[in-house]
């Protein structure tokens, strides 16, 4: 018997078409959950569903732009008409590189719309559903950028700091409704974003720069999406029923072991 089973649970995963979101969706399905992928990229979201189905799991896809509350509401209400949703993984997000001086207003607004308003939109709809159906679990994907002064990450750090604050607020406000809310703050994780970033900014030097970024974690490597998925699985399982309002770093020793 696999630990941390999610049999009978339904999980909605935003940004489940790639990277950490995809890893969480696949891991949850392997542990018994039925998965609903919400992603703006239809091809990527459908690919995740095909992977889950090929492994014997249950998954469906809904195209959704998390920045639009009407779109989020319509997508979730369609799910609610079919079944109760027990778990929300708020994962859809975008990154940005720049200081406060070099960040254009349009880039700042985009980061806020996706990483802050998008998380709010999903929780705004989901909390009401969970209140009316006996509770649930929310896991928000934050970042160590929320708490550490990372260079050239002004707008991204702002958005992830907001995610941590929203997590604490929701956890506190809905204790009496059996809704647990936690967040996960990874350090660098090897996702397609990293590969695209290196290819765009360091053509011909991708391997060299990858190793440099990997070594910035004291443990000597980047995290893998599947490792974040394992932590998310624990937090959404009944084994974590006494845990709420916590920001969990998964950082290879970044905070406590840096020289």
Q: What residues act catalytically?
A: 156
CA pair distance 258, 208, nearest whole angstrom: 21
Side-chain-side CA neighbours of 19 within 13 Å: the count stands at: 21
Residue that has been written with the tokens 């989901």 in this structure: 126
CA pair distance 126, 191, nearest whole angstrom: 27
Computed on alpha carbons and rounded to an integer, the radius of gyration of the chain in Å comes to 18
Helix (H) or strand (E) holding 21: helix 19-30
Residue that has been written with the tokens 């720049």 in this structure: 98
Widest CA span of the chain, in angstroms?
Answer: 55
Exposed/middle/buried for 81, CB within 10 Å: 0-12, 13-18, 19+?
Answer: exposed
Question: Of how many residues is the chain composed?
Answer: 259
């Amino acid at each position: 018997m696999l630990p941390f089973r999610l049999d009978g649970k339904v999980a909605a995963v935003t940004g489940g078409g790639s990277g950490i979101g995809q890893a969480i969706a696949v891991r949850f399905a392997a542990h018994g959950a039925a998965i609903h992928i919400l992603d703006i990229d239809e091809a990527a979201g459908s690919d995740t569903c095909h992977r889950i189905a090929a492994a014997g799991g249950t998954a469906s896809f809904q195209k959704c732009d998390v920045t639009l509350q009407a779109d989020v509401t319509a997508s979730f209400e369609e799910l609610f008409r079919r079944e109760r949703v027990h778990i929300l993984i708020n994962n859809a997000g975008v990154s940005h590189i720049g200081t406060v001086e070099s960040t254009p207003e349009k880039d700042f607004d985009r980061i806020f719309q996706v990483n802050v308003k998008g998380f709010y939109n999903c929780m705004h709809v989901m909390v009401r559903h969970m209140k009316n159906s006996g509770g649930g679990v929310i896991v928000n994907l934050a970042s160590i950028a929320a708490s550490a002064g990372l260079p050239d990450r002004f707008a991204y750090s702002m958005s992830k700091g907001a995610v941590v604050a929203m997590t604490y607020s929701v956890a506190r406000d809905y204790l009496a409704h059996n809704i647990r809310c936690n967040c996960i703050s990874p350090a660098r994780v090897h996702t397609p974003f990293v590969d695209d970033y290196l290819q765009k900014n360091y053509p011909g030097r991708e391997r060299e720069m990858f190793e440099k970024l990997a070594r910035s974690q004291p443990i000597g490597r980047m995290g893998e999406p599947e490792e974040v998925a394992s932590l998310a699985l624990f937090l959404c399982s009944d084994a974590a029923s006494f845990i709420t309002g916590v920001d969990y770093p998964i950082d290879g020793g970044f905070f406590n072991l840096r020289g």
